[in-house]
Structure 1
Amino acid sequence: MMNSEPDSSHRLDILRDVLHQIETLRIKRQQEARDRPHPLLKRFSQQELADEACPTYRNLLEGRSRRVPNQTMIMQIAQYLECSAQERNNLLLAARYLPENLELEGIALKQALEQAQQVMGMLPYPAIIVTHTLSVHAANNAFQRVFEIPPLEALQKQQRHLFYFLFHRDFPMRARSTFNDQARDVWHVQASLGIDLFKHSNILYQFEPWYQQLIEQFSTLSDFRAYWGQESQEQEGKPLPQKNTPSKIVLSRNAETSELLPIQLRQIYISVCSHKYPCIAAFLPLDEAARVVFASLGSAKESSEHLSPYPVSHM
């Protein structure tokens, strides 16, 4: 809290501000629920708020308690009231807590993306740059060749997203990741982890309009809604798995022989700034077949660079 030990008068002012913010939001949600019934049948009453998020809420309203809710309780109230990021931060500020760090934007985001681009340019592995929405900002040549995807600029904006890469049946990445039973089983795990990663990275944004629009957009993709509806690791309170995650199995083409080989890859994330996003997702080779495919990309590149750009004249 910005003032760790406010006096009694100041504490009452803070509590008054907090309750005003909460009641303003609660009444707004209640009116919205009257016009359009809530899918979970929430009524947004004072008693329901007390039952679901803050057991002392009635005591606070009636003056039997004058203790400002702690930061965790404020976040629980914001979650119950389905606050947007701005509404949540307004609640935190009213209680004199520091607002949650939002994602980078403007010049800071531009600089972070430029730095990520520089780092990715030095990697010898397939890699992409993703933002917190899991949109794909950039992809290196190795990624495009290993997964045989078209250049990003050739894709529509809504297609430049990990969910599209994962779930669209006609997209090369899904087709090449489900070529046999073992690969299909791994793909199922990767799809669930992709959903969990999005939910975990955007848990504070789930009531933002862009979040809802994004889910609606991808709900047209095969299997997406089924995976989205599964209970996530984050919802169960479990940490997202890092170790023991199965390696990615994909069919990739040897650039020298054109032979399709099943290869195993390990996906890692590389941060480039103080925020988690934007970050680089890189794919490391785990078996000999993957190393052969990666080496062939370099050999093919060297061969093309050594070709003369001019026609050879014969004497």
Structure 2
Amino acid sequence: MARSETSPAKRSDVLRDLLEEIEVQRLKKQEEVRDCPLPRLKRFTQQELADEACPTYKNLLVGRSLRMPSRQTLTRIANYLECSSTQRNNLLLAARYLPENLELEGDALQLALEQARHLMCTLPYPAMLVTHSLHVEAFNELFQRLFELPPLNTLPHTQRHVFSFFFRHDLPMRERSTFNDEATLVWQAGVSRSIHLFKHNNRLYQFEPWYQELVEQFCAIADIRQYWDRTPALPAKQGAPSKLILSRNALTEDWQPIQLQHIRISVCTHTYPCIMALLPLDEPARELFTSLGTAPAAELMRLV
């Protein structure tokens, strides 16, 4: 009979380490809310943790159970304790689970961004470079010309975000995307999917101060709040446009609706940073892209 990889004594040591880490986090949260005015949804007691996240918690504390909580249970405990990403990983490591794969930082992030910028400049399609928070790090000339945007470095830092492009009335993307009922429905579906993507990308960061501050900024933008808590729309069917845009041919100056499809291009082993590009789905879109790439510089400057 194969012997267990972890002996009972070793498992007990690991469980002790895990319970100590949980109690450190629980008592810290309890101290934070001690002087908060009532009503308070959470009191962060041992009994409440057992009721909300881990039914066997009190048995673990008194030694009636030595069964290590599953990774899923630890995720529930971390959510209940409103753990930051670092605190969540501390719980996982205490239980000898692999930590969550966090986003690139520092030099590794800068290298990936630089590689992505070089790649984006070679694409024959409008594209922008975004991080896991959907912050826009850069866009190429075709993207700028398609939506007649000012240079990115002239926009305030708080407006360099996908949601700002979607919602702000002083930027042309929203008006160009809601020119009739069909386009409005496609735009609303795209908004819903982008909000779902943002929440999914940052599910480990939802209790981080930067995340909460960013959500507050979003909710100050126009009418984004009415979309924030909606059930996300289903992904677009294969071949269906993810964007309908009313755009102007750079050579003829004719306005016409075009159909576009989003694709995401990862540039490293992490999902982000990534390039979001727009591919043409119909002949008017292909003609427009050709015009954006061949119009004389003077004409393009006049159109922007």
Q: Answer yes or no: same fold by TM over 0.5.
A: yes
* Deviation by residue 1:48-100 (Cα, 9 ceiling, x = unmatched): 21122111111101211011212221122111111001100111111111211
Paired residue secondary structure (1:35):
coil
Match of 2:59, SS state, is helix
Within a 5 Å distance, the mapping from 1:219-258 to structure 2 comes to 219-232=219-232, 241=235, 243=237, 246-258=241-253
Match of 1:55 in 2: 55
Q: Which amino acid aligns with 1:35?
A: D
Dislocated runs of 4+, deviation >6 Å: 302-305
State whether residues 264 and 274 of structure 2, in contact with CA within 8 Å, keep that contact through their aligned partners in structure 1: yes
Residue 236 of structure 1 corresponds to which residue in structure 2? none
1:285 paired to 2:280: yes
Rounded Cα–Cα distance in structure 1 between residues aligned with 2:138 and 2:213 = 22
**Matched residue, 1:310:** none
Which residue does 2:201 correspond to in 1? 201
- Structure 2 equivalent of residue 312 of structure 1: none
Q: Which moved more, 1:141-150 or 1:5-14?
A: 5-14
Distance 1:78 1:232 in 2: 25
Write the distance in 1 (CA, Å) between the matches of 2:29 and 2:66: 25
**Greater CA deviation, 224-233 or 209-218?**
224-233
| Secondary structure of the corresponding residue to residue 34 of structure 2 | helix
Alpha carbons of 1:261 and 1:37: their partners in 2 closer, same or farther (altered >3 Å)?
A: farther
Structure 1 residue runs without a partner (length 5+): 234-239, 306-315
Task: Name the counterpart of 1:308.
Answer: none
1:108 pairs with 2:113:
no
Q: 2:148 & 2:39 partners in 1: Cα distance? A: 41
Q: Structure 1 length normalisation: TM-score?
A: 0.88
Any idea what SS the aligned residue of 1:222 has? Answer: coil
Alpha-carbon distance in 1 for matches of 2:92, 2:216:
30
Residue 6 of structure 1 deviates from its aligned partner by: 2.2
Deviations along 1:251-279, one digit per CA (max 9) or x if unpaired, are 11100012221111001101111000000
Please state how far the C-alpha of 1:196 moved relative to its aligned partner: 0.3
Residues 236 and 242 in structure 2, CA contact (< 8 A), matched pair in contact too? no
Match for 2:259 among 239, 248, 264? 264
TM-score (norm 2): 0.91
In structure 2, what is the Cα distance between the partners aligned to 1:257 and 1:86? 55
Cα deviation for residue 21 of structure 1 reads 1.0
2:15 corresponds to: 15
Counterpart amino acid of residue 224 in structure 1: I
Please list the CA deviations of residues 106-137 of structure 1 after superposition, one character each: whole Å capped at 9, or x if unmatched.
11111111111121122100000000010001
- C-alpha separation in 2, matches of 1:39 and 1:149: 47
Deviation at 1:184, TM superposition (A): 1.0
Partner amino acid, structure 1, of 2:258: I
1:276 aligns with 2:271: yes
Partners of 2:245 and 2:152 in 1: how far apart?
20
Looking at structure 1, the residues matched to 147 and 189 of structure 2 have their Cα atoms a distance apart, in angstroms, of 19
Alignment of 1:1-315 (within 5 A): 5-36=5-36, 41-232=41-232, 241=235, 243=237, 246-301=241-296
Whole-angstrom distance in 2 between the partners of 1:22 and 1:220 = 36
Using the TM superposition, give the Cα deviation of residue 43 of structure 1 relative to its aligned residue in structure 2, in angstroms.
2.2
Structure-2 change in CA distance of 1:59 and 1:301 (3 Å): farther
Aligned residues: 296
> Helix, strand or coil for the counterpart of 1:29?
helix
Gapped regions of structure 2 (runs ≥ 5) = none
**Matches of 2:38 and 2:170 in 1, distance apart?**
36
Q: Provide the C-alpha distance between the structure 2 equivalents of 1:61 and 1:11, rounded to a whole number of angstroms.
A: 14
Distance 1:66 1:144 in 2: 59
Name the Cα RMSD after superposition. Answer: 2.1
